[in-house]
Amino acid sequence: MLLSKALEAAYLIDRLDRLTRSGGNIAELNPAQWEALRYLSRANRFSRTPAALAGYVGSTRGTISQTLIALEQKGLASRQSSRRDGRSVELALTRRGEAVLRDDPLRRLADDITAATGGDAGELLATLQGILSATIARNDGRAFGVCRTCRHFRHNAKPGSASPHHCNLLDEALSDSDGGAICQEHDAAA
């Protein structure tokens, strides 16, 4: 049976994922726990909730709850009542969780990508982002995205302050690091 190049590429992506995960028993984390840690390290403060994590990874809230319990027991993540809304929960990485992420198996894959692309992975990144967008749309998922690429992001709304940017949707001040984080409310700028 002759496979299409697209199907061959899909098989390669799946195999890369499995090979990367097979080398990832650092800190005795399973793939779901690694994914949760990665998300928490990249999400903005408005998106570090169990519901947002479930939406990002395409999982149920029950599964995410079990993942978070395991991460808390390992001292890698914490949860506390939301400062904005006492009924919801905010998640955070602990110092130990941040340290574990420095040994993330995906870093080795990133090194392989850098070597394979001669240090310029821009075209590969754009292709993968397009594929991800199509998959999310087909599955009726949320896109998530980096704040500074959102139509609600206002760059330098208060120049010179510690939080110079602004989110018009949430009416919240944003720091430079907030602007580079992923958000569940992301709506791509035109």
Confidence at residue 83, expressed as pLDDT on a 0 to 100 scale = 77
Could you tell me if 83 and 36 lie in one domain? yes
pLDDT at site 137: 86
Is residue 106 within 8 Å of 113, Cβ to Cβ? Answer: no
Regions of the chain with pLDDT less than 70: 1-2, 23-27
Provide the residue range defining the domain that includes 174: 145-183
Q: Which of 72, 77, 75, 48 is nearest to 183 (CA)?
A: 48
Inside any domain, residue 7: no
- pLDDT, residue 23, reads 64
pLDDT at 133: 87
pLDDT of residue 24: 54
Count: domains in the chain = 2
Looking at the fold, whether 112 and 168 belong to one and the same domain comes out as: no
163: left (phi over 0), alpha (psi -120 to 50) or beta: beta
159 and 80 share one domain: no
152: tokens are 């609600």
Tell me the torsion sign for CA atoms 175, 181, 185, 189. Answer: positive
